[in-house]
C-alpha cells in the first residue's frame, strides 16, 4: 500500500474509547455474490461478520437478470469459451484469469444448484441459451430473467444457516482502519445505533462497482464506489477503473430509476431502448 498525502485519510471522526466495537476473524464488506460467497468460504475456517449498507436484497447481484455463462453442453469446450471471452474482450482480458474462471465455471454452477439455486432445467440438466458474444449455448438462467434474485436468495439462505457468520444489514462502511504497517485491521462504519468499529484480522472488500455515479445508469443506489474510495484513502492502488458495469437495455420514464425491471412495471412500460438506440 502507498499513501496519498493529498487526501484526508479518515472521513469518520471517531473516538475509539466511546464507540461501540465488534471483533471478528474475518470481516466481509458487501453482500452481493462476491461477498456472500466469500463469507461462506471464510466461515469454514473462522468467525465472519458480513456487512452491507442497505438490505441483503439491495445489490447489483440481486438485480442481475440475464444469467451466467459456463460450459454446460457436451458439444462445448473450455477452449471455445476461452476463445469467445478473449475475442469479446478485444485483447485486453487477463488470459490467466479468463482461463481460471472458465475452467471453474461448471463446478461452481453445480455448487449453486446443490445450494438450492433453481436454474431453469431441460431433460434433467441446466438449460443453456445462446447469447451475444458466444458461439455456443452456454448461459444458465433461473426463473427466466430472475437469475440474480434466485442466486442471491440461495446464498443468503446458506449464510443465514451458518453459525460462524454474523450478518449486519444497514451498516454503512466509511473508512478502512490501518495500522502503522499499512495493514488493514478493520472498518469504521455507521448503523442505526450510530458509529461502530469492527476490528478484524482479515478484511475482504466486496463492495461492487461505481455505476451509480452516473445520472443514467441501470445500477441500484448502493453502487456508488465507496469501497474503491475507502481503499484508495487507505493507500491501495486501484486498477481498471475505466470498466463500468451496466445493463445495456433500460427503461426511460422521466424522473424514475433506469433499473430495467419490466415485470414490476406492468402497463407502465412505455419503450425500451437498446444500447444502439433502437426501440424494442
Ligand X SMILES: Cc1cc2nc3c(=O)[nH]c(=O)nc-3n(C[C@H](O)[C@H](O)[C@H](O)COP(=O)(O)OP(=O)(O)OC[C@H]3O[C@@H](n4cnc5c(N)ncnc54)[C@H](O)[C@@H]3O)c2cc1C
Give contact residues for ligand X (rule: CB under 6 A).
29-35, 51-54, 58-61, 63-68, 148, 171-173, 206-208, 218-219, 222-223, 226-227, 245, 247, 260
Measured CA to CA, the distance from residue 259 to residue 140 in angstroms comes to 22
Which three cell numbers mark 54? 442497505
Shortest distance in whole angstroms from residue 12 CB to ligand X? 11
Closest approach of ligand X to the CB of residue 248, in Å: 9
List % helix, strand, coil for the chain (3-state, nearest 5): 30, 20, 50
Q: Show the CA angle centred on residue 238, arms to residues 236 and 243, nearest 5°.
A: 155
Residue with smaller CB distance to ligand X, 35 or 106: 35
- CB of 74 or CB of 82, closer to ligand X: 82
- Closest CB 151 distance from ligand X, rounded Å: 9
- Which of 87, 262 has the CB closer to ligand X? 262
From the CB of 8, what's the least distance to ligand X, in Å?
A: 17
Q: Please, what is the minimum distance in Å from the beta carbon of residue 15 to ligand X?
A: 21
Residue 64 or 165: the one with the smaller Cβ distance to ligand X is 64
Using only C-alpha atoms, the chain has a radius of gyration, in whole angstroms, of: 20
Q: Which residue is nearest to ligand X (CB)?
A: 32
DSSP string covering 144-210: TB-HHHHHHHHHHHHHHT-TTEEEETT-EEEEEEE-TT--EEEEEEEETTEEEEEEEEEEEE-----
Closest to ligand X by CB, 243 or 271: 243
- Shortest distance, position 55 Cβ to ligand X, whole Å: 8
Closest separation between CB of residue 189 and ligand X, Å? 6
User: Which residue lies nearer to ligand X by CB, 95 or 221?
Assistant: 221
Closer residue to ligand X in complex, CB, 31/43 = 31
- Produce one character per residue of 177-213: b if its CB has 16 or more CB atoms within 10 Å, e if not: bbeeeeebbbbbbbbeeebbbbebebbbbbbbbbbbe
What distance in Å separates the CA atoms of residue 266 and residue 23, rounded to the nearest whole number?
46
Give the nearer residue to ligand X in terms of CB position, either 5 or 132.
Answer: 132
Rounded to whole angstroms, the Cα distance separating 30 from 62 reads: 13
Q: How many residues does the chain have?
A: 280
H or E segment to which residue 114 belongs: helix 95-114
Query: Min. distance of Cβ 167 from ligand X in angstroms?
Result: 11
β-pairing, 48-51 with 121-122? Answer: unpaired
Residue carrying the nine cell digits 441459451 = 129
Amino acid at each position: 500500500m502507498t499513501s496519498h498525502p493529498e487526501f484526508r485519510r479518515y472521513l469518520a471522526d471517531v473516538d475509539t474509547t466511546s464507540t461501540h466495537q465488534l471483533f471478528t476473524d474475518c470481516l466481509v464488506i458487501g453482500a452481493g455474490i462476491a461477498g456472500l460467497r466469500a463469507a461462506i468460504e471464510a466461515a469454514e475456517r473462522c468467525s465472519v461478520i458480513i456487512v452491507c449498507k442497505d438490505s441483503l436484497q439491495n445489490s447489483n447481484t440481486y438485480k442481475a437478470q440475464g444469467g451466467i455463462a459456463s460450459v454446460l453442453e457436451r458439444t462445448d469446450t473450455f477452449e471455445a469459451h476461452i476463445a469467445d471471452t478473449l475475442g469479446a474482450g478485444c485483447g485486453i482480458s487477463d488470459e490467466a484469469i479468463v482461463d481460471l474462471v472458465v475452467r471453474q465455471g461448471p463446478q461452481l454452477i453445480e455448487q449453486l444448484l446443490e445450494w438450492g439455486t433453481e436454474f431453469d432445467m431441460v431433460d434433467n440438466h441446466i438449460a443453456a441459451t445462446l447469447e451475444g458474444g458466444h458461439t455456443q449455448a452456454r448461459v444458465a438462467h433461473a426463473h427466466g430473467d430472475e437469475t440474480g434474485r434466485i442466486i442471491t436468495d440461495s446464498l443468503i439462505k446458506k449464510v443465514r444457516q451458518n453459525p460462524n457468520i454474523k450478518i449486519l444489514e444497514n451498516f454503512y462502511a466509511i473508512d478502512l482502519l490501518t495500522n502503522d504497517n499499512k495493514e488493514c485491521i478493520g472498518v469504521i462504519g455507521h448503523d442505526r445505533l450510530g458509529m461502530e468499529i469492527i476490528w478484524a484480522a482479515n478484511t475482504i472488500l466486496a463492495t461492487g462497482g461505481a455505476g451509480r455515479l452516473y445520472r443514467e445508469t441501470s445500477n441500484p443506489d448502493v453502487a456508488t464506489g465507496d469501497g474503491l474510495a475507502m481503499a484508495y484513502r487507505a493507500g491501495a492502488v486501484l486498477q481498471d477503473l475505466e470498466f463500468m458495469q451496466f445493463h445495456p437495455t433500460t427503461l426511460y420514464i422521466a424522473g424514475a430509476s433506469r433499473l430495467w425491471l419490466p415485470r414490476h412495471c406492468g402497463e407502465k412500460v412505455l419503450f425500451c431502448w437498446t444500447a444502439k438506440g433502437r426501440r424494442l
